[in-house]
């Protein structure tokens, strides 16, 4: 019987055939790439947050905004989070 394996399983099998030193190097390369991807995601999130803040600041001039960035106290944030979780 032929077993069809997934690309993930095939990758694992290929890695297992490598010498231990190459496996370690591969792990480090993957770790670094994941870190870079996460940094890129964080940078994008920061840009989007700054844009939302600028748009919210223009539209609300100090009042809480219903779209984009919101303004308020920690208690306002807690209340909003509880409303989202419960409603």
Q: Residue 53 to residues 9, 43, 68: CA-CA distances in angstroms?
A: 44, 15, 7
Number of structural domains found in the chain: 1
Answer with the residue of higher pLDDT: 31 or 54: 31
The structure tokens listed for 76 are 């306002």
Average pLDDT of the segment spanning 78-83: 90
Flag whether 47 is in a domain. Answer: yes
Flag whether 81 is in a domain. Answer: yes
Write out pLDDT tens, residues 43-66: 999 999 888 888 876 665 544 445
Percent of the chain with pLDDT over 70: 79
Neighbours of 56 (CB within 10 A): 19
Flag whether 9 is in a domain. Answer: no
Give yes or no for a contact between 62 and 71, defined as CB atoms under 8 angstroms apart: yes
Give yes or no for a contact between 58 and 68, defined as CB atoms under 8 angstroms apart: no
Flag whether 82 is in a domain. Answer: yes
Flag whether 8 is in a domain. Answer: no
Q: Residue 41 has what pLDDT?
A: 96
The answer on pLDDT for 10 being more than 90 is: yes
The predicted model scores a pTM of 0.56
- Find the domain containing 80 and state its range: 18-86
- CA distance linking residue 9 with residue 7, whole number of Å: 5
Flag whether 30 is in a domain. Answer: yes
Flag whether 33 is in a domain. Answer: yes
Flag whether 1 is in a domain. Answer: no
């Amino acid at each position: 019987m032929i077993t069809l394996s997934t690309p993930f399983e095939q990758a694992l099998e290929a890695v297992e055939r490598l010498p231990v030193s190459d496996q370690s190097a591969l792990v480090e390369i993957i770790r670094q790439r994941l870190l870079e991807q996460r940094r890129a995601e964080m940078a994008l999130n920061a840009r989007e947050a700054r844009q939302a803040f600028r748009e919210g600041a223009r539209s609300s001039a100090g009042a809480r905004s219903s779209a984009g960035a919101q303004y308020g106290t920690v208690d306002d944030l807690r209340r909003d989070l509880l409303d989202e979780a419960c409603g």
